[in-house]
Structure 1
């Protein structure tokens, strides 16, 4: 792996391990929010009870653990860069009595599996952060059996995702943050219509389909929204860590004002837009 890509990978591993405590704290809330995208991925995979499935960049275990309840005579292999996130996944599996799974800490660009191992591959909100997305897609296709399906979800365009732009646009207005290099890993890197579908075709998949899934992040109150974003959203925490207390307070008040302006009913339910793409080997 190129030195630059390896550096990005190590930075991401460190970040997600560091954020694992926040994801553990908010896991039930977060998984409920992200469930529609997991359901669309699962619907796209046409799973059978005996399937062996790979869930890539699974974090705290979804949609892999839900898939495990469907492939009751099969198995799910749940992978992520961050071992501490996988520890949360194992705890979640234990709580639910799920045993037909295993976790493997590994890099998607170097999957430690033989060719044509899996009947299906899922990946929810991983592609945007892969250093080399085409390499990652080709690795997933490599370990997929002929006729098997790969399905992935990514965030759509910024204008569809007020849940994150409300806070990040306010941060950018108040702070001089360096612009990321073009094509660098980031939330909206795969958001353009057709982007991920084209990537899947380049990786060798056929019968590629694309579907938009939209909804709201229901936080209830502005304070709940602020606390959630400050404990699970890496870009937010990274930026605010560089702000002094006065700037941080100013950003918080401006975010609340922006949310109240868009959502005058005092119910903090912020729009999101995602894209779910699937293809067949």
Structure 2
């Protein structure tokens, strides 16, 4: 990596959180895959296109884009070395030779000007320290008329995993978690903020629309609760508790998850995810 300004994010995604996402690639895809087709359609990817995937993580959207851009090229960038290692291995296993991955901070990385036809991201653009600067840099990598499309969380109260975390409020303060407009996962939850950021970064024709899907979080309530407690937010909250209280919190979360076991999907836990699908064009 040549330049990094989002140093806290680099530390997080190259530590336990990045390893957890890399180790549980299939499970995270089961949570988020419901947005894939709508995101790829919105990006307008076609044969021969050059595509940039921002915050590509384990690279699933990059690999899907590579199939659509047959004869073209896809570059996935992310801060997380563990997740990029997983992305490269998966691409090799699938025999994809038109996708590459690079460890980079998209806010400051020196992309070649006008080198991409489209840029996309699935949940990878919410953590920039300076989002206007970041999207300006991404915009400079797009050709004139190039298209930006991304999915970011919207409406915390309409996201089942947030409701699940809130079930722990009797054990740990979680009231400030998931506040729209604040730094973090929901920094771009407000459509007006999205428009302000993207127009400030030089994009035009900014559009946002709400999209929903149901992701699979576990094979049953206990499995889903254990998975969520292993995430960054889960570890943060349980680190504040005694072992006895952690056991009580786990039981409460398991009860919440059991209420969402879906008999039409073999009893697996299915939670609603609500996101904004954002599109914009570089003039």
Task: Specify the TM-score bucket, using the shorter chain as the normaliser.
Answer: 0.7 to 0.9
Deviation of the 1:131 alpha carbon: 1.4
Question: Could you tell me which residue of structure 1 aligns to residue 13 of structure 2?
Answer: 16
Divergent runs of 4+, >4 A: 176-184, 260-267
Structure holding more helix per residue: 1
Question: Could you tell me which residue of structure 2 aligns to residue 272 of structure 1?
Answer: 273
Q: Is the 8 A contact 1:45 1:150 kept in 2?
A: yes
Deviation of the 1:183 alpha carbon: 5.3
SS of the equivalent of 2:60 reads coil
CA distance in 2, matches of 1:207, 1:17: 35
TM-score, normalised by the number of residues in structure 1: 0.88
Is residue 106 from structure 1 mapped to residue 107 from structure 2 by the alignment? no
* Structure 1 unmatched ranges of 5 or more: none
Question: Could you tell me which residue of structure 2 aligns to residue 116 of structure 1?
Answer: 114
From the superposition, tell whether residues 119 and 224 of structure 1 become closer, same or farther in structure 2 (CA, over 3 Å).
same
Question: Could you tell me which residue of structure 2 aligns to residue 223 of structure 1?
Answer: 222
Equivalent of 1:74 in 69, 72, 75:
72
Deviation of the 1:184 alpha carbon: 4.6
Question: Could you tell me which residue of structure 2 aligns to residue 131 of structure 1?
Answer: 129
SS of the equivalent of 2:14 reads helix
Moved more, 169-178 or 234-243: 169-178
Deviation of the 1:260 alpha carbon: 4.3
CA distance in 1, matches of 2:174, 2:29: 30
Give CA deviations for 1:162-221 in whole Å, capped at 9, x if unaligned: 223312x13443124795899553222211244323322222222222222212222231
Deviation of the 1:227 alpha carbon: 2.2
Give CA deviations for 1:114-143 in whole Å, capped at 9, x if unaligned: 221111111111222111111111111111
Task: Spell out the pairing of 1:35-114 with structure 2 (5 A cutoff).
Answer: 35-114=33-112
SS of the equivalent of 1:173 reads coil
Instruction: Give the paired residue count.
Output: 273
Q: Is the 8 A contact 1:49 1:73 kept in 2?
A: yes
Q: RMSD value over aligned CA atoms?
A: 2.4
Q: Is the 8 A contact 2:54 2:77 kept in 1?
A: yes
From the superposition, tell whether residues 272 and 182 of structure 1 become closer, same or farther in structure 2 (CA, over 3 Å).
closer
Deviation of the 1:28 alpha carbon: 1.7
Deviation of the 1:238 alpha carbon: 2.0
